[in-house]
Structure 1
Amino acid sequence: MSNQLLSYPKALPLSDWSNMASGLSAQAGEDVEPSPFTVLDCFDQSIRQSGRLLIETEGALVLMEADGRLLRQPAARKGNFVADLADGPVKHHLSDMSPLRCLLDLGQGELVKDQLRLVDDEEKTHLRVDVLRFSKDNKTVSLMALTPVRGYDKAQKQVTKGLLTAGASVATPGQIQSVLFPDLVPYVAKPKLSFAPETTAVAAANQIIAAYLSVARQNEPGTIADFDTEFLHDYRVALRKIRSVLSLFKGVYGDAATAELKQRFSDLMAPTGALRDLDVYLLEQDYYFDMLPENLHEGLRLMFETFATDRKDALTTVTKRLKSVAYNREMAELQVMFETPGEIVQGPQGGLTVGDYAKRLIWKRYRKVCKTAAKIDDQTPDEEVHELRISCKKLRYLIEFFAPQFDGAEIKAILKPLKKLQDNLGLFNDYSVQQESLQALISSGRLKGQTALKAAQSIGALISILHGRQLEERARVVQSFAGFDSQGTRERFRTLFHEKGAQS
């Protein structure tokens, strides 16, 4: 029999353990004083959601796996990303986490570790029980890992039955956070929205925008604290999706209201652009150094020193903005506006039912993607490739907004080739933007004297390589579109989104 992991809302006396297995008595280990612990997880609580628990206690990092295994290593580290941890079993088992997300302190409490053995009259051990008793304020929960000794599976079955009868439950370590820190709601970057059949287009638009305004606001503290770059990234994506709604949901709001809202959200997003661009460059330093021979690395180092200085200034600008009274008043007004029915002037399409409206929008955008992509070849101007990238992004946003309204398996089958096409278009765009930004840095006059010469040599070589990779990516775009434009995908789009009798 394998390990069994159970949770129980209080401590159990030894007599209770002894009564659960016939012919066995419980023996406790040495008394241990409570020690403080800190729960560590990413902002999206990816460790908790994988069923695991990571704590720091007594100078060690302790990772409890979903099956109850305990992994330990020294807590000393040079930063708060998994890559910053010392080599050890905890770091190794956290390798599935996003390298862009840092570990945050999500809460503290007290921990008592007990070790019990259930033994027979001859002092032979039949079952080992590791008990971790977590306490926070007036809440206590015990996590118990039951490990049978080979040949003595009966004891584990009896104790498990007894514990479940007494009110224990099969558990995962990640549930500890739910019990001790009930206010810690996992962050979701893509809220799953559902609409009743009678929901109007304007009500759906309001709901989508309100949801992504909430996502943006949840990322403000982390952006200000500069924990990791994903806070700003998710903040910008949330605002970008809101702007897409305003752009794509034509006729849902009045024309004047739409124009005003587009401008307001554009003004919110604009001050964050420079910081995000610098984040991208700095995150990809190793990639850039790998592209150039070592004799050109000095120029790259000078370039990245400039970017690091620029980032400090850009972060200061964004932080002041997010802390300002004017910004917070604007965000609060927008939240009230989209959470209050009738607050915004409704347009002629606002009263349509959401299902019909969603089909029309998605079908129209899909046809635009196909029309644009069919023209892409080796001679197509970059601007048209960028237009395809934007159309694909808007198509994906629409599908994700309304996904719950349609068959999940069919939506997944549509999104897979679309994401691949988007990945290629994203790289094509990155190579293009990077070339322009690097050229602008050379032309800016900010690099002086010998620094300018060394940096210019490195940047020139980098631009040449990026240009070559951009051309390669253009060819991949054509290949990816061929995969996306398959007969199966065309049939799925037509079945899901094309209304009978409507013009193709």
Structure 2
Amino acid sequence: MTGSERMTVFDGAELPERLDGLDLGKGRILLEPAAEEMEFDLLDTFDGQVAAKGALLVAAGDALVLLEPQGLLRQERAAPGFVSDLPQGPVTERLRRLVSPLRTLMRVAEGHLTRQAVRGVDDLDKTHLRGTLWVFAPICGGTVSLLEMAALRGYAPTLARLEAALAPVVEDIHDARGAAQALRGTGASAPVLMAPDETAFRAAGDIIRSQLAVARQQEPGVLADLDSEFLHDYRVALRRVRSVVSLFKGVYSAERTTELKARFGAVMAHTGRLRDLDVYLIERDKYLSLVPEAMRPGLGKLFDRLAAERQAELKVLTAWMDSDAYRAELHGLARLFEKPKRLAKGPEAERPALDYAKTLIWKRYRKVNKIARGIDDATPDTEVHELRIACKKLRYLIEFFTPLFDDPEVPRLVKALKRLQDNLGNFNDYSVQQAALGRVAEDLARDPGSDGVAIATSLGALVTVLHQRQMEERARITSSFAAFDGPDTQAGFRRIFKPEEGTA
């Protein structure tokens, strides 16, 4: 197609009928009689990163096609996988900017595709617009139509008339994210809805059920080892569950709270070592770049060892997740929150959710401030770690209760908190990495093997660099908190989250 003016329209199955003969006032739309018929695969990451950026990635016939509002890119079809493993081409190059290198592309929908040429003509049958109508009929999910049109030079007003004519009748699918969700037949877990006057007990149960569903959705990806993010998202969801149990004090009885924390903690404990190994291997290139070139071969040998250990750890984890014991435990935990009468209530269970949320968030916010204002150059690292954990708990609480606070300033407050968390997280990462590498060095001392000396020498160099980075991050913490603790942020927290006078 030629022309600089373009448009992309998404709709359901009715778009072909709406288009055929559509009156543009000084012209009409014509569907060409010949249409291509073929099978298609919709490709995306599990969490829909391609669609989230406004695009659809389609494998059809011998082509891999990326459909975006600004146009269409095409290259030779290839098996889905990590973008880095795809053959070079315009689609691959664009995907590098859309998809995280940690996530793999996979087939998320399949079915039948009809592709048909479309023209916009005037009363004398002169062509003003050219385009293509794509109709996707998936095996599971709903039919989606996509119209891409471009104006020939000088005919942008005709394209504007087409947009105006379609606007009143195209309502159900607005963008690529909605189209992908319809084609997949399922979307992400439904957002947790809350009412200010519902009980804290009900709010806690709704959040936990939602996060358990997210965790269970990751299981196939973990078992198939599609990419490391499935395990990461699985752990994040369960960590959020544990946070609800721990932070929503008084919602459940003390005995039940202790039991739930222990059970969810035991499930997560099985995944810890594999996640640690994933993080090391993800950071391989970064670690190698931090040490002198002469040290890199030894470090490479260490990563070879870690990769072999990862394969062994993966077998252990997948065997456990595929066991009757695992399925029984997750089913049992889910049943507790599906049948909440089985959960003994605590003294805060019947408290209105909004009142309870303000109390929790305001108390946690004040704790963050108290810890942060006491940090200086002489503060022990343990207190810096305590601040990181307090910030994480504050952010979890705000995110859990976001449905109760319909205030446009909440995202700004969360963003300010996240900037402080990023600094604290970097500090913690460097600290944890040094400790972990220290344990590796101890293991090497006991069993050096043929590569032990080379690996130990490289480890020493790497630990030195990580310590320097940690000290640099530590120096930034005070200024990071000062930015978070500005008057606008203080006023926002006070206005939105401070409980009414006299509230417990």
Q: What's the TM-score, normalizing by structure 1?
A: 0.89
Are 1:234 and 2:233 matched, yes or no? yes
Secondary structure of residue in 2 paired with 1:147:
strand
Are 1:2 and 2:5 matched, yes or no? yes
Deviates most, 447-456 or 166-175:
166-175
Corresponding residue for residue 107 of structure 2: 105
Q: CA deviation at 1:198?
A: 2.0
Corresponding residue for residue 88 of structure 2: 87
Alpha-carbon distance in structure 2 between the residues aligned to 1:121 and 1:203: 63
Q: Which amino acid aligns with 1:125?
A: T
Corresponding residue for residue 479 of structure 2: 479
Corresponding residue for residue 336 of structure 2: 337
Q: Which amino acid aligns with 2:78?
A: A
The number of residues matched between the two structures is 497
Are 1:320 and 2:319 matched, yes or no? yes
Q: Which amino acid aligns with 2:220?
A: P
The Cα offsets for residues 401-437 of structure 1, whole Å up to 9 and x where unpaired, read as 1122224333223222211111111111111111111
Change in CA separation of 1:178 and 1:195 when aligned onto 2, cut-off 3 Å: closer
Question: Could you list the runs of 5+ residues in structure 1 that have no partner in the other structure?
Answer: none
Corresponding residue for residue 37 of structure 1: 40
Deviates most, 301-310 or 331-340:
331-340
Of residues 36, 48, 51, the one that matches 2:51 is 48
Corresponding residue for residue 361 of structure 1: 360
Corresponding residue for residue 298 of structure 2: 299
Asked if the contact 1:195/1:405 (under 8 Å) is kept, the reply is yes
Asked if the contact 2:43/2:59 (under 8 Å) is kept, the reply is yes
Q: Which amino acid aligns with 1:84?
A: D
Asked if the contact 1:5/1:144 (under 8 Å) is kept, the reply is yes
Asked if the contact 1:132/1:142 (under 8 Å) is kept, the reply is yes
Asked if the contact 1:143/1:173 (under 8 Å) is kept, the reply is no
Asked if the contact 1:117/1:125 (under 8 Å) is kept, the reply is yes
Change in CA separation of 1:21 and 1:416 when aligned onto 2, cut-off 3 Å: closer
Alpha-carbon distance in structure 2 between the residues aligned to 1:163 and 1:491: 45
Q: CA deviation at 1:121?
A: 9.7
Alpha-carbon distance in structure 1 between the residues aligned to 2:247 and 2:29: 70
Alpha-carbon distance in structure 2 between the residues aligned to 1:293 and 1:83: 26
Q: Which amino acid aligns with 1:134?
A: F
Question: Could you list the runs of 5+ residues in structure 2 that have no partner in the other structure?
Answer: none
Alpha-carbon distance in structure 2 between the residues aligned to 1:203 and 1:452: 56
Alpha-carbon distance in structure 2 between the residues aligned to 1:170 and 1:237: 31
The Cα offsets for residues 162-217 of structure 1, whole Å up to 9 and x where unpaired, read as 77799898864555444544x231x35xx643321221111211111111111111
**Aligned-residue CA RMSD (Å):** 3.1
Alpha-carbon distance in structure 1 between the residues aligned to 2:248 and 2:458: 45
Secondary structure of residue in 2 paired with 1:335:
helix
The Cα offsets for residues 322-358 of structure 1, whole Å up to 9 and x where unpaired, read as 1111111111111121122322111112121111211
Q: Which amino acid aligns with 1:184?
A: T
Q: What's the TM-score, normalizing by structure 2?
A: 0.89
Change in CA separation of 1:118 and 1:394 when aligned onto 2, cut-off 3 Å: closer
Change in CA separation of 1:3 and 1:455 when aligned onto 2, cut-off 3 Å: same
Corresponding residue for residue 132 of structure 1: 134
Alpha-carbon distance in structure 2 between the residues aligned to 1:156 and 1:144: 12
Asked if the contact 2:50/2:98 (under 8 Å) is kept, the reply is no
Q: Which amino acid aligns with 1:105?
A: R
Asked if the contact 2:132/2:147 (under 8 Å) is kept, the reply is yes
Q: CA deviation at 1:37?
A: 1.4
Asked if the contact 2:73/2:91 (under 8 Å) is kept, the reply is yes
The Cα offsets for residues 36-62 of structure 1, whole Å up to 9 and x where unpaired, read as 211001111232233321111223210
Asked if the contact 2:20/2:29 (under 8 Å) is kept, the reply is no
Asked if the contact 2:231/2:275 (under 8 Å) is kept, the reply is yes
Asked if the contact 2:12/2:173 (under 8 Å) is kept, the reply is no
The Cα offsets for residues 357-409 of structure 1, whole Å up to 9 and x where unpaired, read as 11111122122212222222222222221111111111111111112222433
Q: CA deviation at 1:469?
A: 1.0
Alpha-carbon distance in structure 1 between the residues aligned to 2:376 and 2:343: 44
Corresponding residue for residue 454 of structure 1: 454
Change in CA separation of 1:4 and 1:427 when aligned onto 2, cut-off 3 Å: closer
Q: CA deviation at 1:153?
A: 5.0
Secondary structure of residue in 1 paired with 2:401:
helix
